[in-house]
Every structure is written in C-alpha cells, then in structure tokens.
Structure 1
C-alpha cells in the first residue's frame, strides 16, 4: 500500500511544480507590465497569505523540513497527527504558490518534504500501523521522496534521508525508503519526462591550478552559508528590538512590511530577487546571464526577510540561486577554471554552508546538472564549506529549527491541558 502513497507523492509533486511555474510566470508578466505594481501586490499578497495560513492552514508556516525532522523524534503520535495533516499539506501547496506570485523569496522543495511526509503518514494511519519505528520510517520515506521528486534527484533523496532527516539509516526502514523514493521518482519522470532540474552542465575541473576554485568557493560558501544559518537561528528565537512586539501585536501589518521590503529589493534588482531564483541560477550556469555581486547580497537579504514573515516556503532553491550568483561572481577572478564549473562549486559550497550536509549538497548539485565529472571537486568543496560553516554556526540549521519547533509545540500542548478554556481563534 505504501507504493500507492509513493505514486501519490510523485503526482502531487508534479502538480505542485506546474502550479509553482504558473505562479512564477504570472509574476513575471506582472513585473513586465509594471514593475512598480509589486509595491502594492507584494504587501497585499503577504497579508493574504498570513491571514489564510492563520485562519485555515495553521501549522503550514515555514519550510516544512524542521517540522518533518521534529516528528521523527516524537513518540506522541497524537501530536504528530496534528503536524502531518493533509490539510496542512494542501496549505503548503496553495500558500507557497501565492507567495511566488507576490514575490516572496521561497522554493517548493522544503514544503515538498512535509507534503511527502504527510502523505505517507496518512497511509501509515490507514494501514493501522502502531509500531513507532515503522511509523517513523514511513514519515522518513515520505519526506525524502518529496524532496527527490521535487528536484528529480532520487540519489539525493536517499542521501537527504540519511544525512538530514534522520542522521541515521535503520535497516528496517532502508528498503521502504528506497522503494518509496523510486516509485515517486518514476511517477514524476513518467509525467514530466526524464529531465534535469538545471539542464546539463558539460564542464570539468582538472586537478591542478584549477582546484584553486575549490579553496575559494569552499571558504566563501562556508562563511556566507554559516552566517546565514546563524542569522536564521537567531531570528527563529525572536525578532530583534521593537519588531518583536510589533509582529506579535500586528501580524498582518508586519507581513505587509515584509512584502514592501521584498518589493523594494525586487525593484533595485530589476526583479531578479523574486521567487525561487530558478531562472537566474540556470542562466548563470549556462553562461547566458551575468549578475553583479549585488545579486548575491540582495537575494540573501530577501530570503531572510521572507523567513521573518513566517509564510510557508522553503530555502533550498533560493539557496542554490545564491550559490550560483556567488560562483558566477568568483569565476571572473579565476581564469584557470571553467566559469561554469566555478558556478557549480559555488552552489555546493553555499548550500552546504547553510544546511551543513556535505553529501546532500554534493549529490544534489551533481544530479540537478547531470554532471559527474566534477564530483570529486564538489565533494572537496562541500566538506571544506562544512568545516568553515561549523566554525561560525556550531549547530546544524534544520536540527536547531526542529528542536525549537518541537519545544514550542510541546509547550502549547501543556498550556492547552492546564488551560481548558476554549480558544477564540487561531494562534
């Protein structure tokens, strides 16, 4: 029966991809007609997302990866049932697409992880499974399959399950995880074709002076990614200064402020910072687009603002775009290395600097660009970035966010038990 769940994950991932592309396409048309209109559309869109999420899809906020990791460590499955619901999964799809329309700097890969986990958890309940290991295994398999189907990277899905979601790979769940990823991947390929996320990058990095790019990208990506992760962790514990009480008292007003800032950054960048950054990253990889260093900084800032807003959406695709921008800028100073190769190294370095998952970073960049020639250089860059990032941010981003989410969820449950008075509205 869990194979049916895997097929469903693949189908929903394809639908999500089409809806996301349609949302991004609508935004491009709006910006092309009148770029200044985003000053109105972005704040109104962020208000709408915040209001709908709190009213109808409470629990859909954020990436989805920390929530999935948290459920893998929970043994109170009544609590898990409230986190991994099909209602929240639907909210992830709808609100992420709406966020792409209004210019939020988000991706659909993180939400796909929680969506996949929710689907497999629903199948686990339908199968009346009661063993904790089996139920956690289904959640793990669904989350990994969601990520694999979103990027069309089955191998990266397996590594992601080992390195990021579970930090281990139990023998009992390994076969199920592989099966679910394979079936969801086959479904996505059958519907979309055997494509690569960023096309095919035919480039190589011969051993020698060209490997200077490994050192430069590894250190730069580790520094930038580690600083980003540290900022996100700090912001997850509370906004600085007077922003915290303002956001708590006027959540819709704060959402509008975030939308206005995103629109202003979008105007400065000529629209390059809106959305996932997919087209920008692909253009940088194939050499058809060239961006100044400001693209890296402005995209960096737009993701932080989007995270502060709390709307549903992931950071994977925008992080790859930032890494591509960083690599594209560094490449002009390294004439002995192919510019396209430096871009790939920048993507792996920054992605690893943020997530601190060197194997996932290596495999995902290798698969999304269909290039095995640079695997060794990617691996060396990712591990160097991992070491540098750890010096700046000692604890992995998603693990810290998962721990914080779990603590807040448990505190809410305790408050509900001690305060039996009915709630007057969504929190």
Structure 2
C-alpha cells in the first residue's frame, strides 16, 4: 500500500503537469481576444474582396458607357466633362472631403499612431462609399483616373470599421487592420496577392510585426479568394509573349529605364508642386477650377480620339498584345491628363494611368532600339516609369510581373529597370510622392487636432476648478 505522503506528492505532480500543459495549450491556441482579432481580419478581408470586385465591375461598366458615348458624340464631352467634374466636386465637398484624390495619402496618415485623430474622418464608411461612386463617376465623365488607389482607401476603411465595431482591446491592432485593408484592396483590385503584400510592406507599413504577419497575409489571401470566385484567374494586362533578354540588351534596357524613371520623377514633382499651387484656388473656387480643367480634358480627349480618357487599361493591354503602337504624343497626353484630373480634386488614383503612360513610353522608344523586342520594352517602360513615380522599385516590378502573367523570363530585366527608374527619379524628386502628398494633406485637417486639444484643455481646467471648490 502506497503511503499517504507519496500519494499526495504524486497527486501534486499530476496536477502541476496538467496545469502547465493546459497553459501551454491555451498559449498555442490563443485567447478569446486573439480569435476575435483573427475573425475581424478574416471576415473583413472577405468583405474587402467582395466590395473591390464590385468596384472593379462598376468602374469597367462606367468607362464602357463613356467609350460608347464618345464614339458617337465626341463633342458632347465639351459639356459632359466640365459639368460632370463640377458635380463630382460639389458632391465630394458636401458629402466628405476626405474622399479627395487617390486615397493612399489618407491611409498613410491614418495608420500612424501620431495621426490617430484622423482615422474617424478619413476611414468612415461614408467616405468609402463616396470614393467608389465618385471614382466611377469620374470615369463616366471622361476623367483620367485609376481605381487602385481608391481601392486601398476603401479596403482600409472597411477593415478599420470592422475593428471599431468589434471593440478590439489592443490599440496597435487598429494600425495593422488599416494596413491589411489597404493591402487587400491592392490585391483584389489587381488580382495580385504578392503585389498587395509587397505594397503594404514597402509603401504603407515599411516594416511588419512578426506577431501579425500570418494574420496579415491570410487577409490578403482571403480577399484574393473572393476575386477568384467571381472573376476567375486572370492577368490584369493579359499574358504577353516575352522571352529572356540576353545580356547584350541590358545597356539599352538601362537607357530606356533611366529616361522613363526621369519622366516619372518629373511627373511626381509636377504633381506635388502643381497641387500646392492650385490648392488655394481649389479651396476658394472649387467648381470653377473643376469646370476649367474639364474643358481642357475634353479637348485633349477629342484631339487624341479618346486615348487620354480613363485609366489607360485598354490601351496598355492593346500595346502588349501588339494590336496598337505607342506614341510620344499619346504618352504626353496621358501624363498631362492625369495631372489635370488630380488637380481638379476629384477622387481617383494614379496607378493605372502611370502604368499606361509607361507602356506608351516604352512602345514609343521601340524604333530607337529596334534590336530589343517591342513587348519587352513596353514592360520595361511600365516598371521604370511607375518606379519613378512612386519610388518603390520592388512594388513596381512585382506589380508589372503579376499583372502580365508572372513570366519569370522577364523578371531580371524588370528588376533592373525598376531599380534604375527609382534611382534616377530621386535626382528630381527627393521623397516618395505619396508621403509628400500625405504631409501636405494633414495641413488641411489640423483644425481637428486643435479642437481636440482645446477640449482636453477645457476639461482639465474644469477639473481643476472642481478640485479647488472641494
């Protein structure tokens, strides 16, 4: 028979073993709050994918109507575009000024803890709805806008709202939700999950916490699953026929990339400086500025036979398929139309127009370098010009690679072109354009911070008075 003391010691050891083992299991499985956070990420990502897919369909249908009307009545856009821009600006100013522009500067500010006071106005569902509807309206009236930047804004707003409704306890989760929402927006907009991850790391977050990486990537995968379910597996710009480039062609590639990167940097510089110059006029006479810009856009569309309108998706796809040839005039018109549209203040991004302008530039340089395949030059032009605009080389070559069928034969050339384009761009534009635009944007919203500080100061004063009376 076992003595009582030994039985007691054995029981204590068994109890200690069970407690430690159960605690280890709980740590592996996570707490209720951990699963709540995962649920918000996952369900939010599925919702983002569904919304962005609807946004893509609506934007394509909108521009399809525009093309149909333009083919029949091109001169009608001398009225449609200016009055349409006026209507969009009026609705935006009435419904939510935070919907202005591409949306990426808003997300950059909102995810930083130092600007947490901007999250409510920038990431409201009203702003997200306006972003979708007004971007499509811009395409409908013949403006030059893309939907990828707005998709980042909409995705971040949806994920942030889910986190607010769930009342998550961890403060830092809000920032992770914003970044994951923006990345899921890019992934769903382009059907390019890897591009979403790289964009989030390189542009939005610039670093990632190890504890949120798995959940973050899962959110991007889930948004991509929704796109696959509704749109199937497709490449945004089709699958061009390209082969590996010999080493002898790389000097030409570097030359093209340097030229496109310089033009991309100049575009960013003009975008920032022009936006600052026009901002006082837009603040005082927004409708008048929109009307004047609309007249210019309509005239450019008529002169170019509609090539300067829209996101440029169709033109870039046709160039890669060998169905058309690029020209310097079309490239310059697309760049100028993108600048003017941004200056008008309507919602809309610069992703797709920049890729289209890069494709036009690459194609236009084909006769200068006849020994290099035309399709390869177009892809190099896209990667280098886009890298010059955003100064994010990894994002640039990954996006172009995924959007054209993931043909790894062209990958080394895309990497070189993106790096050269970004490096040359820094000669004329010292900082990435989205960060400069974000810094300019916050100046128009600093009244919110002053109001919060005044309320806090008044509350502290009232508390001190009450204490003195006691």
* TM-score relative to the length of structure 2: 0.86
Which residue of 2 is the match for residue 94 of structure 1? 133
Which residue of 1 is the match for residue 67 of structure 2? 28
Q: Give 1:174 shift.
A: 1.5
Aligned counterpart in structure 1 of residue 370 of structure 2, from 335, 359, 362: 335
Q: Give 1:134 shift.
A: 1.2
Aligned counterpart in structure 2 of residue 74 of structure 1, from 84, 97, 113: 113
Matched, 1:138 2:174: no
Q: Give 1:359 shift.
A: 0.3
Distance 1:392 1:204 in 2: 33
Matched, 1:296 2:331: yes
Q: Give 1:290 shift.
A: 1.3
Call closer, same or farther: CA 1:339–1:47 in 2, change over 3 Å.
same
Q: Determine if contact 2:237/2:403 at 8 Å carries over to the other structure.
A: yes
Higher relative contact order (CA 8 A, sep 6+): 1
Q: Determine if contact 2:327/2:361 at 8 Å carries over to the other structure.
A: no
Matched, 1:185 2:220: no
Equivalent residue pairs, number: 415
1:252-271, aligned counterparts within 5 Å? 252-271=287-306
Matched, 1:160 2:218: no
For residues 28-47 of structure 1, the C-alpha deviation after alignment (integer angstroms, 9 at most, x for no partner) is 01101111111000001101
The structure that is helix-richer by fraction is 2
1:24-423, aligned counterparts within 5 Å? 24-75=63-114, 77-239=116-278, 246-370=281-405, 371-414=407-450
Call closer, same or farther: CA 1:245–1:143 in 2, change over 3 Å.
closer
Q: Determine if contact 1:152/1:195 at 8 Å carries over to the other structure.
A: yes
Corresponding residue SS for 1:392: coil
For residues 375-415 of structure 1, the C-alpha deviation after alignment (integer angstroms, 9 at most, x for no partner) is 11100110011110011101110111112223432244426
Deviating more after overlay: 386-395 vs 73-82: 73-82
Distance 1:167 1:217 in 2: 28
Unmatched 5+ residue regions in structure 2? 1-38, 456-470
Distance 2:304 2:252 in 1: 27
Q: Determine if contact 1:233/1:400 at 8 Å carries over to the other structure.
A: yes
Corresponding residue SS for 2:297: helix
Distance 1:155 1:392 in 2: 29
Distance 1:412 1:265 in 2: 39
Q: Determine if contact 1:291/1:329 at 8 Å carries over to the other structure.
A: yes
Unmatched 5+ residue regions in structure 1? 420-427
Aligned-residue CA RMSD (Å): 1.5
Corresponding residue SS for 1:408: helix
Q: Give 1:205 shift.
A: 3.8
Distance 1:150 1:61 in 2: 19
Corresponding residue SS for 2:261: helix
Q: Give 1:77 shift.
A: 3.7
Deviating more after overlay: 57-66 vs 349-358: 57-66
